[in-house]
Amino acid sequence: MASMAQAIRLALHYAEENLGVTDIFGEDVGPPLGGVFTTTQGLKTAWNTPLDERGIVGMAIGLALAGQRPVAEIQFCDYIFNTVDLLKLAGATYWSSNGGWNLPMVLKTPVGSGIRGSMYHSHSFESEATHIPGWKIVIPSTPLDAYGLMLSACQEENPVMFLEPKALLRIRGDELIPGCPEDDRTLSKMIDAPLGDRSQWKPNWPKLEPYTVPIGSAKRVLSGTRITVVSYGRTLPLCVKSASALAEQGIDAEVIDLRTLWPYDWEQIKASIEKTGRVLFVNEDTEVTNFGEHLIRRTTDELFYRLIAPPRLLAGKFVPGIGLADNLETASVPQLGEITEAIRSLASEEP
């Protein structure tokens, strides 16, 4: 089965062949490297840019204004912060021109911890991103969802931010990308660039089929009745693992993978909380003015009298960075043990 990095690459290949994507670009995105996480290897419209994040976002806006369909990459979201006013501008362009100009563009960037990336390769960005109206923001946790969300993003008429949980990029899924060979090695031989000289290499793309995950739709990964757990990105599989282990101990948790952070699938969250009366939001961004806090606010606003216990948030510590040492990283962002404990504790909380 494909890894998430391969799935994104396959989706971009499908998009440049079938969905009108004209440019896939960023630092080291084109040959020979094809992206620091290999998500853009072998793509015919991929090209390398100057080392200039503002230039990259500005180029995407300009291309979109000119009727092209760009997919731009910021190499790590830790380096996106100097583009924030351009992100705001992209989100505002359709509105400020009173419907005159829309921007069909995708901005992809790896997010989060999990690769021992220290101060500048471990940040999350979704709390900032969801504070910028006019964008749609997606974050897959499986290769197939990455494929389906990227195909949706590449058909959007608006700016879409595609957040790639970097800890999951190399993880293989258990669902088949439509049209892909099942065998890892066969797929790798077809689409992974060889080590060493790549100047003559060309990928042998499988005959892919379209598959879309609609933007705005969450996915119930586990069904349960005792407690709702809402997560996305790196922490989602940890929540599933915790919930599965707790299920054996009689704690029946429902796990929802949000997949789209804006516009998010409130109907699914709401239906689940109405059923369980308990909700834990889990993500790894710093916990102050965290996106999960918004979800808690909405939960208390709309579902207060349906709650059995306080809605809770398990998120990253509000410290200035994620330190390199193993102990520092694991103490900064939610790990499996903490998630299990948080679910267990909230599940047993009684009025």
Partner 1 sequence: MNDSATTSRATRRPSSESAPLPLDRGLLIQMHELMVKARALEERLIQMYRQGHGFFWIGGPGEEAFNVPLGLLMKKGEGLDYDYLHAHYRQSATILALGEEPLGALRQMRNAATDPYSGGRNFAGHFSIKRWNVVPVSSPIEVQYVMAPGTALAQKRHGGDGITIVTGGDAGTAEGDFASCLVWSSRPNNELPILIVVANNQWGISTPACTQQGCKQISDRGKAFNIRSKTIDGNNPIASYQELQQAMAYVRQERKPFLLEALVSRLYGHSSASGANLVSNEVDCIAEYERWLEANGVLGRAQMEAVRAKWNQEMAEAARIAREEPQPGPETIWNFIYAEKK
Interface positions with partner 1 (CB under 8 A)? 22-23, 49-50, 52, 54-55, 57-68, 70, 85-86, 89, 92-102, 133-134, 136, 155, 157-158
Nearer to partner 1, 73 or 284 (CB): 73
Give the residue with the Cβ less far from partner 1, 32 or 133.
Answer: 133
CA nearest to 59, candidates 19, 28, 13, 103? 103
List the end-to-end C-alpha distance of the chain, in Å, as a whole number.
Answer: 46
Q: Are 215 and 153 in contact (CB under 8 A)?
A: yes
Our CB check for partner 1 shows the closer of 44 and 306 to be 44
DSSP codes of every residue in 288-304: TT-HHHHHHHHHHHHHG
Angstrom distance (rounded) from CA 232 to CA 109: 15
Question: Nearer Cβ to partner 1, position 54 or 189?
Answer: 54
Yes or no: say if 214 and 146 are a contact pair by the CB < 8 Å rule: no
Rounded CA separation 233/138 (Å): 10
- Shortest distance in whole angstroms from residue 214 CB to partner 1: 13
In the complex with partner 1, the residue whose CB is nearer, 142 or 155, is 155
- Of 96 and 223, CB closest to partner 1: 96
The continuous run of DSSP H or E covering 56 comes out as: helix 53-65
Going through 1-124 in order, the beta strands assigned E by DSSP cover 23-26, 46-48, 70-73, 106-111
Nearer to partner 1, 99 or 351 (CB): 99
Active site residue 121: yes
Distance between CA atoms of residues 34 and 43, nearest Å: 8
Nearest-approach distance from CB 152 to partner 1, in angstroms: 12
What's the burial of 305, exposed, middle or buried (CB within 10 Å: 0-12/13-18/19+)?
exposed
Of the candidates 13, 121, 123, 131, the residue annotated as catalytic is: 121
Q: Which residue is it, tokens 């929802």?
A: 256
Smallest gap from Cβ 8 to partner 1, in A, equals: 23
CB of 94 to partner 1, least distance (A): 5
CB of 137: closest distance to partner 1 in angstroms? Answer: 13
For residue 329, which phi and psi values (nearest 5 degrees)? -65, -50
Cβ-based neighbours of 87, under 8 Å, separated by 6 or more: 57, 80, 107, 129, 132, 135, 161
Q: Running DSSP on this structure, what letter comes out for residue 32?
A: T
C-beta of 68: minimal distance to partner 1 in Å?
A: 5
DSSP 39: T
> Nearest distance from residue 331's CB to partner 1, in Å?
36
Count of CB atoms situated within 10 Å of the CB of 76: 22
CA distances to 91, 108, 123, 155, 212 from 104, in Å: 11, 13, 26, 8, 17
**Calpha distance 168→165 (Å, rounded):** 6
Active site residues per annotation: 121
